[in-house]
Amino acid sequence: MSTLRFSILRLLRPLHWVKNGLIFLPMLLAGSITRVPVLVDAVIGFLSFSLMASAGYILNDIVDVDRDRRHPYKSNRPLAAASLSTGRALGVAVLLLLLSVSLSWPLGMRAVGWLMVYFTLNWLYSAYLKPVRFFDIVILSSFYLIRLFYGSAIGDAELTGWFVVASLFSFISLSANKRYLECAISKHGTLAGRGYSKDDAPMLQTLSVAFALGTLVLLNLHAFFVLSIREPVVIALINLFAAGMMFSYFGNNKSKSDDPVARILSNPFLLAMALMLMSIYVFELMQQR
């Protein structure tokens, strides 16, 4: 692969497309994912949202290029390392945006609407909202939540209030932990363009753990009242695997990165716990149908 193509591929951050797996979750919980037309739409939606997310990443890299050059890990990104020009990167972003909307158009206007909400909020975050202390965590969390709403729009799968709140708590926990790790690994007293200092690290760590524990409580309420899971053994296993994921994520990790995706994918134990937890939910939902 040529250097140019490799730089463009890295610019797209395909590893981060893992986050877009959230699109399948509403359809999985609703049981509609087993229908072939819904599954096909879900796969198209996944690809569409992935292209839009990559367009957002590129715009973020363009805005942050100077700050990224002073970051211990982000300095290796194509724009920060000057292996790709800003003009060419912007052209790729526009192409991805057009392709994304074209793919989502047959999926319905609700899906296109959520796609554009994501892009607009992503642009506002990159250009203006990133330095706003603590509010940036809310914006980061909303990006994950929009993926769920997008998946709900594609599969016509209703999201319950318990599920939305439980999901939001988990996303806030991940986002707060990301900022905590940025503070922890920073070699400077303040984070460039973020509005945080190293003194904020303890509070950010507390927030991330508190919202993770809140997620665990809400997960139980969702399982009991919405999914009607009553078996004590199943409830115990849900808590066991969810707690295992939480302790594994916040504990020692092979990845020293502040990126949640890198930390999750480098943790086989966490992935195993997540697989077991999802398997329990799928089994219980199949039993109820």
- Predicted pLDDT at 214: 94
Checking if the pLDDT of 1 tops 60, the result is no
Mean pLDDT computed over 34-55: 94
Instruction: Quote the tokens at residue 161.
Output: 């209030």
78-92: pLDDT as tens digits: 888 878 888 999 999
103-112: pLDDT as tens digits: 999 999 999 9
Between residues 190 and 289, the one the model is more confident about? 190
Checking if the pLDDT of 101 tops 70, the result is yes
Lowest mean pLDDT among 91-105, 172-186, 193-207, 254-268: 254-268
Instruction: Quote the tokens at residue 257.
Output: 């990165």
To 5 degrees, how large is the angle CA 148–CA 150–CA 156?
95
The chain-wide mean pLDDT, for the chain, equals: 88
Question: How many Å is the maximal CA-CA distance in the chain?
Answer: 58
Q: What is the DSSP letter of 132?
A: S
Between residues 89 and 7, the one the model is more confident about? 89
- Predicted pLDDT at 229: 85
Asked whether the beta carbons of 215 and 169 are under 8 A apart, the reply is yes
Give the total residue count for the chain: 289
Mean pLDDT computed over 5-21: 90
- Predicted pLDDT at 289: 60
Phi, psi of 196 (to 5 degrees): -115, 160
- Predicted pLDDT at 163: 87
Give residue limits of the domains in the chain: 160-289
Checking if the pLDDT of 13 tops 70, the result is yes
Provide the pLDDT confidence category of residue 73 given band limits of 50, 70 and 90. confident
Asked whether the beta carbons of 43 and 20 are under 8 A apart, the reply is no
Instruction: Quote the tokens at residue 12.
Output: 């797209």
- Predicted pLDDT at 166: 92
- Predicted pLDDT at 216: 93
C-alpha 32: how far from chain center: 23
- Predicted pLDDT at 197: 86
238-252: pLDDT as tens digits: 999 999 999 888 876
Provide the pLDDT confidence category of residue 141 given band limits of 50, 70 and 90. very high
222-275: pLDDT as tens digits: 888 887 888 899 999 999 999 999 988 887 655 566 778 888 888 899 999 999
Top mean-pLDDT range of 189-193, 219-223, 242-246: 242-246
51-62: pLDDT as tens digits: 999 999 999 999
**What are the DSSP calls for 188-206, one per residue?**
SSB-TTTS-BGGGHHHHHH
161-181: pLDDT as tens digits: 888 999 999 999 999 999 998
- Provide CB contacts within 8 A for 215, sequence distance 6+: 166, 169, 170, 173, 242, 246
- Predicted pLDDT at 255: 59
Mean pLDDT computed over 40-58: 96
